Chain A
Amino acid sequence: MKNNNKLLVVSDLTKVFIIGGRFLGVKLVAVNRESFDMEEEKPEIFTIAGESGCGKTTLARMILGIIEPTSGKIFYKGKDITKIQSKEDRLDFMREVQPIFQNPFETFNPLKRVESYLIETAINFGAVKNRSEAFDRIEEVLQLVGLSIKEVEKRYPHELSGGQLQRVSIARALITNPSLLVADEPVSMVDASIKMSVVNLFKDLKEKYGVSVIYITHDLATAYYISDRIAIMYRGNIVELGPVEKVMLNPLHPYTKLLIEAVPEPDPDLKWKEEIKLSAMEAKEFAKLGCKFSERCLEAKERCHEITPEKIFVDDRWVMCHKYK
């Protein structure tokens, strides 16, 4: 495989969870042999969206090295991260790839003042040599997110608002000059105004500082607004992947269509009309033969229930559906 010039290569990645006991338990394939990659030279915002429980967080945690894949490989700048052995190499990797989580309150230690936590992070990562350098670095990253040390000084996490704290957690992630941010639902708990300030920040980081972002979200309007490419997941698989305009304005996969149609409009004149059908037993769907969406798909044919569809390249994007064969 050619991994040159790739920032990230995810190859045939699988994660299996056993739920309900080791012997009687059922296998749940949370991520099913998935692959995608990101270019090193061309920073981008890559969105992963899809059904609740389809495996987005699991995928992100494997990329961050928090959980181990069951099989498959992840290369970061050509290095297989599942094979990192030495502490030094691990620290190197952690400097380059930084997480941002959904709940900023969980990122911080509630008993530590925000600025001392930031200083420690800077020192622990070896991003700076001493406290005074740390101070400068922190002022720098806080400025990037539109804050300053003055505003967070002597404050505990609960004394900042959710939006401020989420910005601080992005600042924390920037201390080490990372090339890739992995943001798992960074704006799902905040209101529209904070949401826009966070996603505008991602845009700036990409455009001005060349940082790439994996943006996991249920908020498709912000996904459209900031991303270059988008991957739509359903039950462990990426069912459609391509440029955001293509996928969102002209979706091909029946699940993508359903998802885009369900996006609520913030306009009382454009309310939903028809009822929507949801699946009842998720675990069963994960284990289903054939296309996992076939029970709910209005366009399902016989083969859909038996044969797993392959990924096909149509109109600039990959689609995993028999219809396009």
Chain B
Amino acid sequence: MKALCWYGKEDVRIEKIADPKILNPHDAIVKITLTAICGSDLHLYDGYIPTMRKGDVLGHEFMGEVVEIGPEVKKLAKGDRVVVPFPISCGHCFFCNQEEYSLCDNSNPNAAVAEKMYGYSGAALFGYSHMLGGYAGGQAEYARVPFADIGPIKVPDELSDEQVLFLSDILPTGYQAAANCAIRGGDTVAVWGCGPVGLFAMQSARLLGAERVIAIDCVPERLELARATRQVETINFAEESVLEGLRELSGGRGPDACIDAVGMEAHGFGPLGWYDKAKQTVRLQTDRPTVLREAIQACRKGGTVSIPGVYGGLIDKFNFGAAFGKGLTFKMGQTHVQKYLPDLLERIARGEIAPNDIISHRLSLDQGPEAYRMFREKADGCIKVVMKP
């Protein structure tokens, strides 16, 4: 089959490789009909996630048709049309039982490596480094999907691929980011990042009752899209001070909740920005916490900082005293995608959410390398790329 493989920093290639096989009794094989590139893939593309190996198949946002099932698969059959969540979850461990699917105990064959770095390992993810399982991803013609009875959700024929694909990751991710803010009527929520995750977080914050949503980014067409489709006020951080802007827009009290939908590769400014960039380049610090720093500073007393943006390791010059002094609540982590699927699918079917409104580019899998470059540069008004194998 054809697959988009990782070979190093800024080096991804379309390769001809063997088709995946059933390896465990609860596996299924899915023939992929649509796949996407995620902001998380850019962290791989830019070389910031350790334990990638040359030839690893990328991609964790995909859907398609079940073409083969293992002997223990009960709920899926050949021919089913499914969307596959990006965390691989067993459905039976302590964490899965309480719907913390991205913390599953039983999906990562390389848990030992993650344990060394984090104490305990989270769930394995598709196409996201060997520390997180090393599973081949879904930017390919076929993918092997473990625990097929637990993850994939069947989707009705009336809904197109483009309408449901983002159930695999970014829609539930934006939703969880907002749900983690425990929003109450009248709340003001600030969202850093007008990428796909940020856009869905803004939309979800509104659905969950936020009164005011403020979006922060520097890419004009992204800010424009946020304004046009998400009923938000915006701050362009290249032009004005985020902290002052937020203070003003929240009546001087600060936002009730702050969502960091940017993560470890935030753009920084001034001396601290250079400092972060330099330290990250030589890996003295693995992450650039510009947004996180801003969020804890901006947040109102007793507020919540919700972090869907991915962080991988150490950060510097982090004002923990501000978090402590203001009694902040932190919520973060990979999304428990499975938990939100039935509800979000319902909302799509009812027309309440049209996740496809963020798609800016429709390409073929063969154009993958070019698509990564474009998405990374945010060139050509790129918001979200979907690819057909």
- Chains A and B bind each other: no
Q: Contact residues of A with B, CB < 8 Å?
A: none
